[in-house]
Amino acid sequence: MEPLASAAACGKVILFGEHAVVYRRPALAVPLTQVQATATIEPGEAGITIDAPDLNQSVSLDRASPASPLAAIVRLTLAHLQRQPDTLRLKITINSTVPIASGLGSGAAVSTAIVRALAQWAQATLDEATVSTLVFEVEKLHHGTPSGIDNTVIAYQQSVYFVRDEPIQLFNVATPFTVVIGNTGVAGSTKVAVSDVRKGWEADRAQYEAWFDQIGAIVQQARSAIESGAIDQLGPLMDQNQALLRHINVSGPELERLIAAAKGAGAAGAKLVGGGRGGNMIALVTEQNVTAVSAALKDAGAVSLIVTEIS
């Protein structure tokens, strides 16, 4: 049987600016199209069910907790589309290759795919801003006080210079460059990491504000380098960003092991991505050393690798 609707959304990776972005400093993030979440809608037997085998979740909308992100995005989208859920019989199936709790936007990708599929099913057209706004509401369940960067990059599927509560700015990549993303295999909770940074900031605002200012300055330099094609400047900027992320205590031993391995194999720079405390790291590589860096990351314990060109 043909599905009633099907839609997909990509992952994302933050190049520079994690955590400081929550405090209204800029960040640079790009879509990660090698990983995708797909939502497929079929006729259901009773009510609305949402099955996400890759996430080990299955919920029935009428019995789901308000804290369930899957149920929340369906409810929000149907309300926006002015459809009454208690009159519908739908089965929504989620398949996702975006690693969970690893800084690549799994939650936002799944939510975006669901919004797009429901809009397609309802024969409605939703612009990117509307999709992003709906997904952001559910990001609060995932992350507590999210910056909004995940839903923005994924909904627009564009490289974004992002400042919280300011108009979106797209940025151009003058010269494509290659990165390797290594997964520690350790689930990192962005909500916990963001909460812990908040506690540190509340205890010593002057010091944390200074660190956030330094991260913001790195982001500005990185944007200029990317837009001018000065890719050789990005490695040291990654290293500087990582040093500041260590100061705010969001790195971890598994991340540090992979970062050291990448650097030892010739990567020009490396840092964690996303919330930290596990999840993924990113390394800037060349055509000449991508194989060596990838092998070193595997040897150091990376459970999976993504090699991608940023363009």
Report which of 73, 51, 45, 47 is spatially closest to residue 61, judged by C-alpha positions.
47
CA distances from 120 to 11, 45, 301 (A): 20, 20, 41
**Cα 57 from Cα 112, distance rounded (Å):** 17
Give me the active site residues, please: 150
Helix count and strand count (H, E) for the chain? 9, 11
User: DSSP states of 253-270 as a string?
Assistant: HHHHHHHHHHHHTT-SEE
Strand partners, 93: 40, 51
Kindly give the pairing relationship between strand 27-43 and strand 160-162: antiparallel
**Cα 124 from Cα 20, distance rounded (Å):** 36
Q: Indicate the DSSP class of residue 86.
A: G
Report which of 255, 262, 253, 256 is spatially closest to residue 299, judged by C-alpha positions.
262
